[in-house]
Amino acid sequence: MSETVTQTKSFGERILEQPGPALVWVLGLLILGALEMGAIAEVTVAIVSALASAFASLGTAVLGGPVLPSISGSIAGGLESAATVAAGLPDLVSRSVIPNQGYQTPDGVWHGTFLGLEPKYAWLLRVALVYGYMFVFLWWLWRGYRTYVANYRTADWTPRDDMVRRLRSHSWGKFGMVVVICFVGMAMFAPTVSPSTGDQNMYNMNAHDIQYFDEETGSVEEISVLQANFQSASQGSGSQNVGLWQYDEFNRFHPFGTLTSPGQDLFTFMAYGARISLLVGVVAISIALVLAAGLGMITAYYKGLADLTVVFVSDTIQSLPSLLVLMLASMVFSHHWLGKIYNGGLLLAVMFGIVYFPNMWRSIRGPALQVAEEEWVDAAKSYGQRSSTTMRKHMLPYILGYLLIYGSMSIGGVIIGTAGLTFLGFGINPPVPEWGRAISMGQAYVTTPAWHISLLPGLLIVVVVTGFNALGDGIRDAMDPESEGEDTSAGVGATGGGA
């Protein structure tokens, strides 16, 4: 009976019994959190205000007028003060702690940068700190999981353990995971890792001034960012070019060089662009996955008419030329409120989700039908389990892995598709940065010294898409040991192609 006693303990009781490891972990988490308190608060506020403004514009669009202006006004006010508070919180790796913008006087001394370092070193330090922090944080979360498994979990083995073990020994999958983490980090910390800021570099160039040392006048001058950018734009000729790892004449450091007129910093553009790509990709894939998973389980569970209906709908969608549909939708909705949210980003995400779901559903359908045939599904029915619960408990866990595989493999396709559409002039409108636009801007200069404008975004897209595919491969092999060692291009997942 002694075993009975140990087994009835709840999670809380098990922690109380042996608090050491849990305490250590929570303490570590608090320290890590404290270092980035400001960023965490800022991100939270940013998300809330983005949501609030989306709702407000939705309300405006749907009801034809501002909804309850006083309320939205007070919310906006509250958010603003929250943002101020958030900005005041300590933040180890923010740009204000390690500034990289400044000017150099003839004596070689840098003014305004972190500890008077050269801007490129200040920037490098900041980027290194951001990524370092991020990886330490993720590692700490992983350690938390290990601590839980080692000390507090009741089961000494679960089927998930095997998957985790297989994923850990899958180097191609781990490579993909690292690439994906770097990409997500770039998007999340775009304001911090960029040499400039989005507002300064893209949205509001005229509202910002910078100081620089003018050799002609021999004094420190002020110039608006707009003008400075115009003068430092890469135009492909030797004198009119700011390439990789160079300073422009205003003492600004451009790790990836500058864009063509109006001459934004390419790295900043890319970092903010990563946000768009990630957002469109994640939203599109989430829509596709939710549709595919929900319909996949319903069709597998009920079969018959439900199945036929979905087959018909998905066939219809698949028979349309998706690229044309996407272009058409961007055109038609370009002046509609839906097309204005995030400069077309949301519209694109929704359209991609709809275009991608039939394929996803078809891929999910086989596994879903298979698990619906399992006797445990019948067993659940035999004791009267509700069908929705049966699907969630007895079917979803078995197709979740497939969802992850197809999701990570298709997100690359969405990223390429978004870039492609933007390249063609549809998709995401300026000034919201999108990698495809950078490629199209640099297209005329590929044979000139300004080759970096097209090449770097192009390379990055390839790397990111490969990373997502590698992660998908890793997950697939972790889920299904039989496919281990197989040719990675064969097997379940189709690689994500263009739109």
Partner 1 sequence: MSELLQEDDPATNENGPLVEVNGLKTYYDTGGLFGSNPVKAVDGVDFAIDRGETLGLVGESGSGKTTLGRTLVQLESATEGEVLFDGTDVTTLSGSDLKNWRREAQIVFQDPESSLNHRMTIGEIIREPLDVHDWPNFSVAVDDPEDRSVSVSGDGIRADPNESADITVELAGAGPSIAVRDALAMNADSVDVSVSEQSSSVSVSVSVAVSKAQLRRAHVRDLLETVGLREEHYYRYPHQFSGGQRQRVGIARSLALEPEFVVLDEPVSALDVSVQAKILNLLEDLQSEFGLTYLFIAHDLSVVRHICDRVAVMYLGHIMEIGETEELFQNPENPYTYSLLSAIPEPDPTADRERVTLRGTPPSPRDPPSGCPFSTRCPVKIRPEAFRDVDEHTWESVETLREILRERENREMGVRDHAKALLGLETGFEDFVDVAEEVFTRNGSLEAEGVATEGLDDSARIERALDDIDPVAREPLKETIELVLADKESRAHELLVETFESDCGEQSPEHHSVSDSGRTSYCHRHRSEFDDTAVAFDDLLSSAE
Instruction: Give least dist CB 244 to partner 1, A.
Output: 50
Stretch that binds partner 1, among 155-163, 192-200, 294-302, 446-454 (CB under 8 A): 155-163
Which lies closer to partner 1 via its Cβ, residue 384 or residue 485? 384
Strand 110-111 to 246-247 pairing: unpaired
Which lies closer to partner 1 via its Cβ, residue 222 or residue 373? 373
Is residue 431 reached through a cis peptide bond, with omega within 30 degrees of 0 on the bond before it? yes
Stretch that binds partner 1, among 28-36, 92-100, 150-158, 272-280 (CB under 8 A): 150-158
Which lies closer to partner 1 via its Cβ, residue 90 or residue 397? 397
DSSP 8-state secondary structure symbol assigned to residue 412: H
Which lies closer to partner 1 via its Cβ, residue 372 or residue 441? 372
Selected from 228, 380, 453, 492, the binder of partner 1 by CB under 8 A is: 380
Rule CB under 8 A: is residue 452 a binding residue for partner 1? no
CB 345 within 8 A of CB 276: yes
Instruction: Give least dist CB 475 to partner 1, A.
Output: 16
What distance in Å separates the CA atoms of residue 178 and residue 297, rounded to the nearest whole number? Answer: 32
Rule CB under 8 A: is residue 7 a binding residue for partner 1? yes
CB 286 within 8 A of CB 353: yes
Rule CB under 8 A: is residue 315 a binding residue for partner 1? no
Instruction: Give least dist CB 376 to partner 1, A.
Output: 4
Structure tokens, 78? 């509250």
Going 180 to 181 to 185 to 186, the CA torsion angle's sign is negative
Rule CB under 8 A: is residue 3 a binding residue for partner 1? yes
What distance in Å separates the CA atoms of residue 265 and residue 277, rounded to the nearest whole number? Answer: 18
Instruction: Give least dist CB 152 to partner 1, A.
Output: 12
What are the backbone angles phi and psi of residue 188, rounded to the nearest 5°? -65, -45
Stretch that binds partner 1, among 92-100, 165-173, 267-275, 383-391 (CB under 8 A): 383-391
Which lies closer to partner 1 via its Cβ, residue 150 or residue 155? 155
Instruction: Give least dist CB 471 to partner 1, A.
Output: 22
What distance in Å separates the CA atoms of residue 399 and residue 366, rounded to the nearest whole number? Answer: 10
Stretch 360-379 residues interacting with partner 1 (CB under 8 A): 374-376, 378-379
Selected from 74, 96, 158, 169, the binder of partner 1 by CB under 8 A is: 158
Rule CB under 8 A: is residue 11 a binding residue for partner 1? no
CB 356 within 8 A of CB 284: yes
Which lies closer to partner 1 via its Cβ, residue 214 or residue 307? 307
Rule CB under 8 A: is residue 383 a binding residue for partner 1? yes
Query: How many C-beta neighbours within 10 Å does residue 373 have?
Result: 10
Which lies closer to partner 1 via its Cβ, residue 120 or residue 393? 393
Stretch 384-443 residues interacting with partner 1 (CB under 8 A): 384-386, 393-394, 397-398
The residue whose two tokens read 């998930």 is 160
CB 214 within 8 A of CB 221: yes
**Residues touching partner 1: how many (CB under 8 A)?**
26
Q: What is the 3-state secondary structure (H, E, C) of 131-187?
A: HHHHHHHHHHHHHHHHHHHHHHCCCCCCHHHHHHHHHHCCHHHHHHHHHHHHHHHHH
What distance in Å separates the CA atoms of residue 497 and residue 411, rounded to the nearest whole number? Answer: 10
Give the CA radius of gyration of the chain: 26
Which lies closer to partner 1 via its Cβ, residue 378 or residue 484? 378
Which lies closer to partner 1 via its Cβ, residue 249 or residue 373? 373
Which lies closer to partner 1 via its Cβ, residue 120 or residue 381? 381
Rule CB under 8 A: is residue 17 a binding residue for partner 1? no
Which lies closer to partner 1 via its Cβ, residue 217 or residue 382? 382
Stretch that binds partner 1, among 52-60, 100-108, 313-321, 380-388 (CB under 8 A): 380-388
Rule CB under 8 A: is residue 215 a binding residue for partner 1? no
CB 173 within 8 A of CB 181: no
Q: Torsion over CA of 186, 92, 75 and 346, rounded to 10 degrees?
A: 0
Selected from 154, 237, 388, 443, the binder of partner 1 by CB under 8 A is: 154
Rule CB under 8 A: is residue 156 a binding residue for partner 1? yes
What distance in Å separates the CA atoms of residue 242 and residue 265, rounded to the nearest whole number? Answer: 9
Which lies closer to partner 1 via its Cβ, residue 201 or residue 390? 390
CA 315 to chain centre: 30
Using CA atoms, how far residue 72 sits from 10, 62, 358, 396, in Å, is 44, 16, 39, 39
Stretch that binds partner 1, among 1-9, 119-127, 129-137, 341-349 (CB under 8 A): 1-9
Question: Measuring CA to CA, which residue among 356, 373, 374, 342 is closest to residue 290?
Answer: 356
What distance in Å separates the CA atoms of residue 73 and residue 78, rounded to the nearest whole number? Answer: 9
Rule CB under 8 A: is residue 481 a binding residue for partner 1? no
- Point out which residues bind partner 1 (CB under 8 A): 3-4, 7-8, 154-159, 374-376, 378-386, 393-394, 397-398
